[in-house]
Structure 1
Amino acid sequence: MPALLDDCVHCGFCLPTCPTYVLWGEEMDSPRGRIHLMAQHQEGAPLDDAMVQHFDACLGCMACVTSCPSGVRYDRLIEITRAEVEAEHPRSLPERAVREAIFRLFPYPGRLRALRGPLRAYQRSGLPALVRRSGVLERLSPTLAAMERLAPPTRKAPRLPERVAARGGRRATVGMLTGCVQREFFPGVNAATARVLALEGCDVLIPRRQGCCGALSLHSGRAAEARAFARRTVETFEGVDVIVVNSAGCGSAMKEYETLLADDPAWAARARTLSAKTRDLAEYLAELGPRAERHPLPVTVAYHDACHLAHAQGVRSQPRALLAGIPGMDVREIADPEICCGSAGTYNLLQPEAAADLGDRKAATVAATGADLLVAANPGCSLQIAQALERRGTPLPVAHTAEVLDASLRGRPASSLLTR
């Protein structure tokens, strides 16, 4: 870690791209300020509340990594530091309870599935408006209040088959990650992903026993937990040539397995192989090249750069090119695309005030595009921005890149995306 710390020359190029520095203008809430604190800790300063609050306030968006001219690996630094925080810093009982609840729920699709029925009943009962007006959840726990506000409308989640056959001549065979929140609360995204891949000539293998990839744990300093999820994912997808992922955070984590399991002799080579064959959906479709006919979709869309897609994976041009290749589609850019929307995995649950401020900023820039539809490639971003748009009184339908492509390839009307 000291060598990584020494790479920072404190030039300040990261400051305009750091969401928390943009919000508060505080040096200790900038990447170089946090690196200074990391160095202090390496020299013996304790991880006390005053220091830890600045690490907790970091979104881990990696915009600073993209903007850094010196190649500072802040992404590795914050992951290492968060693991140290979790190992060394005694959090309060309420903090521990909230974090434990989050990590006992979200990485487990079966538990999320069990939650859908009660959540559907609650959403249809008329209670949400009353609960929000009363402020009872805010007083009880800001995290619970954030979870209640962000919960998406529950939809029927049909189970995908273990194999979706290619249409026409087979060009490739790919494995597909279904995710956790994506699988249970955005089932249409997974269904659209499988259809698009099949229409482009891919046999799609969807292992039924797959589980969480470990992204939330990895990015929250729960290293042992992340490694356990990673080993299971590696084992599940051995034997396929390419793994296609439609969630930015998941794809980023899987591409990091090589580093995560580097010190495990039994898994290092297997993890390196999996990382090398992991592709984001847009990245893979760009590599494969189009074959299926694109039907017109006369709609104006604003494309949102998910941080773990743009900054962590470097996938920016491919989604835009895929959207621009649809006849009749007008793709508009969102101002300040490098600034995170505030979702950032569990950030909008653990830091709801800062997340709401960032969500409001993002919603304003989205609304300014005049688009009819927002396109995003991460479930957390979709929930975060949709809620912020609703809050400012400018609601907008949100779709995944896969859903837009699916509508075009199948000749569906634009209204199928706009009435959601």
Structure 2
Amino acid sequence: MSVGETGSITDLGMPASGGAFDEHHPPDAALVGDCVHCGFCLPTCPTYVLWGEEMDSPRGRIYLMKQGLEGEPMSDEMVSHWDACLGCMSCVTACPSGVQYDRLIEATRAQVERHHERDRADKALRGLVFSLFPYPRRLRVLRGPLRLLQRTGLDRAMRRTGLLDRVSPQLAAMERLAPRLSKPERVPERVPAQGPRRAVVGLLTGCVQGAFFPGVNAATARVLAAEGCDVVTPAGQGCCGALSVHNGREQEGQAFARGIVDTFERAGVDHVVVNAAGCGSTMKEYADLLADDPAYAERARVFASKVRDVAEILDQLGPVAERHPLDLSIAYHDACHLAHAQGVRAQPRRLLTGIPGLELREIADPEICCGSAGIYNIVNPEPARELGDRKAASIVATGAEVLVTANPGCLMQVASAISRSGHPMGMAHTVEVLDASIRGVPADTLRATR
């Protein structure tokens, strides 16, 4: 598409090419121009809260995008500020002008991946991450050695010696985030509805969720079935592409997205249910991601219209299964890609407060990211750790017995931070709490999790 067809770059006096960006989907100059520099985003931006630096705020990063569109070449300094962004989208919620920062930062990161030469260590780390995390089978193979380390106590010994920290702080961060592993629960390919069938849904098992939190998938299937859904879990699912898309690996993300569309089209379901916030936010944007692909554009649009977070569909259907009391206090943490990217805030709270005996306690500064942000806590471990410690302090201050959230990355990040705080507490996904209530599982089971 030419500049004359969009009009936006010409209207702002910006060159169509040259500078930091090529002509393949650069940050949209019209969207850049929507930012009026009001500053409402500043107190909600994690990196601005940490450092107070203008260029590490949304409006500062947008200003750098504007410079790139006007002809400034891509520099290491530009990239460092864009890389420091967690992509939490808290600024999108806060912005009174409706600036679509989510679209701007994803377009920018795709340009960075095409045109910026990373140093050898950064390139190697990212290569390791993207050769492992988007591949469920590879992650499942990792479970065995990781569980052995945990059962023998070698993981704790490594942390005490600090050896891995000296070799690579990023690898040390990755090891510390690993959850305690137990025998995995398997989800059947089809779980029939209990009682009258209200919907046929497909379940995305996910990469990290499937490998490290299989119990969450099992609980999701049980709760959906208890609420009248036939649950179809297609075998051989691949990655949804969220990690790739959020980190500028556009073609890789598109390839993963096509695979997911193919898989769930064959399943013939009414809705595709997701229990990982980052995955759901990307899958709802497949129409944009595959808009340039004539073979998939319309199929992606139809697919995206079927995607629901598990809290959304359960809230939409309404409860039919009996809830047994849970004498339990919980703190609910809003996963950024659920609250900010998808606008799902009230639904999980309604579901949780519908459980007799359960007390929900709100966390201070809920809009501030916990520091997980996909792979952010691996590639940027120091600010991620600081954000995690801030979040842990806010959670501990509630006095709740269990922390509940809806994203595997958040569960790992917050669990690690809570452990450092010296105030152990249970950790659970929203559906695990619902599952415990529906099945009549004692509250102590949740208090003891992770």
TM-score class normalised by the smaller sequence: over 0.9
Query: Which residue of the partner structure matches residue 340 of structure 1?
Result: 369
Structural mapping, 1:372-391, within 5 Å: 372-391=401-420
Q: Give the SS at the match of 1:320.
A: helix
Q: Give the AA of the match of 2:264.
A: F
Q: Give the SS at the match of 2:202.
A: strand
Q: Structure 1: how far apart are the matches of 2:87 and 2:208?
A: 20
Q: Give the AA of the match of 1:305.
A: D
Q: CA deviation at 1:26?
A: 0.3
Q: Does 1:142 align with 2:169?
A: yes
Query: Which residue of the partner structure matches residue 46 of structure 2?
Result: 19
Per-residue CA shift, 1:225-273, capped at 9, x if unaligned? Answer: 0000000001111121101100100100100101101111110100001
Q: Structure 2: how far apart are the matches of 1:214 and 1:184?
A: 16
Q: CA deviation at 1:218?
A: 0.6
Q: Structure 2: how far apart are the matches of 1:324 and 1:268?
A: 40
Q: Does 1:291 align with 2:324?
A: no
TM-score (norm 1): 0.99
Equivalent position to 1:133, from 154, 160, 182: 160
Equivalent position to 2:387, from 358, 363, 375: 358
Query: Which residue of the partner structure matches residue 237 of structure 1?
Result: 264
Structural mapping, 1:7-406, within 5 Å: 7-238=34-265, 239-406=268-435
Q: CA deviation at 1:132?
A: 1.6
Q: Give the AA of the match of 2:34.
A: D
Q: Structure 1: how far apart are the matches of 2:197 and 2:438?
A: 17
Structure 1, unaligned runs of 5 or more? none
Per-residue CA shift, 1:162-212, capped at 9, x if unaligned? Answer: 100111111111111000110111011000000000000100000002111
Query: Which residue of the partner structure matches residue 29 of structure 2?
Result: 2
Q: Give the SS at the match of 1:302.
A: strand
Q: Percent identity?
A: 68
Q: Give the SS at the match of 1:330.
A: strand
Q: CA deviation at 1:133?
A: 2.4
Q: CA deviation at 1:21?
A: 0.2
Q: CA deviation at 1:142?
A: 1.4
Mapped contact 2:278–2:374 kept (Cα < 8 A)? yes
Q: Give the SS at the match of 2:142.
A: helix
Mapped contact 1:303–1:376 kept (Cα < 8 A)? yes
Q: Structure 1: how far apart are the matches of 2:157 and 2:219?
A: 35
Q: Structure 1: how far apart are the matches of 2:150 and 2:322?
A: 39
Q: Structure 2: how far apart are the matches of 1:413 and 1:161?
A: 25
Moved more, 31-40 or 410-419: 410-419
Q: Structure 1: how far apart are the matches of 2:153 and 2:406?
A: 30
Q: Give the SS at the match of 1:152.
A: coil
Structure 2, unaligned runs of 5 or more? 1-27
Mapped contact 1:306–1:378 kept (Cα < 8 A)? yes
Mapped contact 1:155–1:185 kept (Cα < 8 A)? no
Moved more, 128-137 or 313-322: 128-137
Mapped contact 2:425–2:448 kept (Cα < 8 A)? no
Q: CA deviation at 1:336?
A: 0.3
Q: Give the AA of the match of 1:95.
A: D
TM-score (norm 2): 0.92
Q: Structure 2: how far apart are the matches of 1:327 and 1:130?
A: 42
Per-residue CA shift, 1:316-366, capped at 9, x if unaligned? Answer: 000000000000000010000000000000000000000000000000000
Q: CA deviation at 1:153?
A: 1.3
Q: Structure 2: how far apart are the matches of 1:125 and 1:291?
A: 44
Structure 1 residue runs of 4 or more that deviate by more than 6 Å after TM superposition: none
Moved more, 2-11 or 128-137: 128-137
Question: How well do the aligned residues superpose, as a CA RMSD in angstroms?
Answer: 0.8
